[in-house]
Structure 1
């Protein structure tokens, strides 16, 4: 015959084991937090890299359209008319709009014949080192789209 005991076995964690687990989780959280806190700068840099790609591909599309008819001074795409200089888009807010860059996401400015795109939600001082610039084509050189993400804080 089997011997049945009326005592039931108790199981679980001791208080010390629970405290050790909580301390370990706290240490892991403290070391991981700085990594996640700096993701904003990485996100802004990735957004500008996408904007750079958009400007490059849009300039190529406008140039291809211009090659089909080199007598045009402007090309209309999706309701936006973009001026063409030397076979490529001029540096203008219209070109940024045609490239799919929205004023809700970026600060778009033109100065000295250069189009500058920077994230909207950064301090004004940081816009000097967190931007994409589009320098239009000259007669001998294709346009230059330059990415600067040295301080996208």
Structure 2
């Protein structure tokens, strides 16, 4: 008599069940990692905007216009409008180079990712200062990590 080789039906069913359980457990973790990556990218944009606005403020202070409600300074052969030393909303995009993110046309200071799958995420720079001593508000939308 010749011995048959291969798997029994019960072995195949158990293997499929185990693979199904692994897929159910692993899929949410993978999706959560994508959400975390989106949020981290948005936080990176926020940090870049904070750093660039501080550098503009430093240059405005050197020029002596950090306490002026409306002024302009030159950075990298470009004119940046300032408000109390920090970049104005319409000029902040000139102070940063963002990979994969763009300023929304018609919404000065609002940045969104270039990817179509992440349209709800945005980072908003808002220089609504009315006097010296404050800093611009930079917010990441709550939908970036979801």
Distance 1:108 1:33 in 2: 33
Query: What is the aligned counterpart of 1:57 among 51, 56, 63?
Result: 51
* Rounded Cα–Cα distance in structure 1 between residues aligned with 2:64 and 2:16: 70
Does structure 1 retain, via aligned residues, the 8 Å contact 2:113–2:122? yes
TM-score, with length taken from structure 2: 0.70
Distance across 1 between alignment mates of 2:98 and 2:54: 16
**Per the alignment, in what secondary structure is the counterpart of residue 139 of structure 1?**
coil
Question: After the TM superposition, which segments of 4 or more aligned residues of structure 1 sit over 6 Å from their partners?
Answer: none
Asked if the contact 2:103–2:109 (Cα under 8 Å) also holds between the matched residues in 1, the reply is: no
Aligned residue for 1:145? 138
SS in 1 for 2:104: strand
* Aligned counterpart, 2:95: 98
| 8 Å CA contact retained: 2:80, 2:94 | no
Larger Rg: 1
Does the 8 Å CA contact 2:65/2:84 hold for their aligned counterparts? no
Q: Distance in 1 between matches of 2:39 and 2:102?
A: 12
Q: Offset at 1:116?
A: 1.2
Deviates more, 1:142-151 or 1:70-79: 70-79
Secondary structure at the residue paired with 1:150? Answer: helix
Contact 2:65–2:85 (Cα < 8 Å) also in 1: no
User: Which sections of structure 2, spanning at least 5 residues, go unmatched?
Assistant: 1-5
With 83-92 and 134-143 compared, the bigger mean Cα shift is at 134-143
Structure 1 counterpart of 2:3: none
Question: Following TM superposition, by how much is the alpha carbon of 1:106 offset from its aligned partner in structure 2, in angstroms?
Answer: 3.0
Q: TM-score, normalised by structure 1?
A: 0.68
State how 1:11-50 maps to structure 2 within 5 Å. 15=8, 20-50=14-44
- Does the aligned pair in 2 maintain the 1:54–1:99 contact within 8 Å? yes
Per-residue deviation, 1:96? 1.9
CA RMSD of superposed structures (Å): 3.2
The answer on 1:88 being equivalent to 2:86 is yes
